[in-house]
Amino acid sequence: MSSAKQKIAVVVLISGSGSNLQAIIDATQRGDLDIEIKAVISNRPDAQGLQRAAKAGIPIETLDHKTFASRAEFDHALQQRIDRYQPELLVLAGFMRILTTEFVRHYQGRLLNIHPSLLPKYPGLNTHQRAIETQDSEHGASVHFVTEELDGGPVIIQGRVAIHAGDTPTQLAKRVLHTEHHIYPQAIQWFSQGRLQLADNRVLFDQKPRHQPFVFKANDKAQLEKEE
Ligand code: GAR
């Protein structure tokens, strides 16, 4: 009998470098993720992530937001492009656009984002600098379901890193990005296995409400498995 697992259809949206996309592609190629990336779509024609996708043989598309008169028109066109691939999951991987309510509602429960802070701390931009200026001892990244509140949806998993004395935002960003590359594939795998759901603005894991996000500390996979 074939042991091939059912793979869920995924579309990934990017705007830039695409290092999270690369981590997802790598995990898929290793056989750690039961997904098929049907397409990668960028709102920026020069996004480096498009080349990463093309190299992996994934269909790429560009939809330049600057060619649309309004946010609503862009999001509507984007939705049409995405839905041609009939994704069961839509992954925002460094997609630097605020989304309309209509768009978010359309994908509710199957829309994930990664944000470079320990949400609910520091929604929005310049998160690394803000964490340093606040003299936090810890920083990190969060994978969350997207809801209508910007960077406000329930958090599934966080990667935590220590802030060292004298850290610059660039140094800190690098360490945070490293942790992002662990937590995003993990959350996507849970979703693909049917273990994650969004219900009443909460995360359900194996049908049970999660009161706290899972925590991943760099180089500490055992921690994650223990918490699971
Ligand atoms: C990542 O740090 C991601 O958390 C952040 O953009 C970067 C994309 O990097 N996303 C946001 O700030 C969304 N609000 P990548 O293109 O190399 O994956």
Q: Is residue 1 part of a domain?
A: no
Show which residues are catalytic. Answer: 115
The domain that holds 19 is classified in CATH as 3.40.50.170
Going by alpha carbons, the residue nearest to atom 3 of ligand 1 is: 94
- What pTM was estimated for this model as a whole? 0.94
pLDDT bin (cut points 50, 70, 90) of residue 227 is very low
Residues 15 and 133: their CA atoms lie apart, in Å, by 27
Q: Is residue 37 part of a domain?
A: yes
CB atoms inside a 10 Å sphere around CB 165 = 4
Atom of ligand 1 nearest to the CA of 113: 13
Cα 175 to Cα 54, 59, 86, 101, 116: the distances in Å are: 27, 30, 34, 32, 11
Question: E strands of 118-218, at which residues?
Answer: 138-145, 155-162, 196-199, 202-205, 208-209, 214-217
Residues 92 and 110: their CA atoms lie apart, in Å, by 11
Q: Is residue 52 part of a domain?
A: yes
User: What is the pLDDT averaged over residues 89-108?
Assistant: 98
- Say what the pLDDT of residue 133 is: 98
What is the H or E stretch that residue 85 is in? none
55 pLDDT higher than 60: yes
CA of 119 to the centre of ligand 1 (A): 14
Mean pLDDT (the chain) is 94
1 pLDDT higher than 70: no
- Say what the pLDDT of residue 5 is: 73
- Ligand 1 and 19: CB distance under 6 A: yes
Q: How far is CA 184 from the centre of its chain?
A: 6
User: What is the pLDDT averaged over residues 6-29?
Assistant: 98
Radius of gyration of the chain (CA): 17
Q: Is residue 115 part of a domain?
A: yes
Give percent of the chain with pLDDT exceeding 90. 92
Going by alpha carbons, the residue nearest to atom 8 of ligand 1 is: 94
Q: Is residue 22 part of a domain?
A: yes
What is the H or E stretch that residue 101 is in? helix 101-106
Going by alpha carbons, the residue nearest to atom 9 of ligand 1 is: 94
For ligand 1, mutation pick of 114, 144, 172, 174 (most atoms within 8 Å of CB)? 114
Domain that holds residue 42: 8-227
CA of 94 to the centre of ligand 1 (A): 4
Q: What is the DSSP letter of 225?
A: H
Number of domains in the chain: 1
Which residues have CB under 8 Å from 79's CB, separation 6+? 103, 106
- Ligand 1 and 116: CB distance under 6 A: yes
134 pLDDT higher than 70: yes
- Say what the pLDDT of residue 218 is: 67
Q: Is residue 3 part of a domain?
A: no
189 pLDDT higher than 50: yes
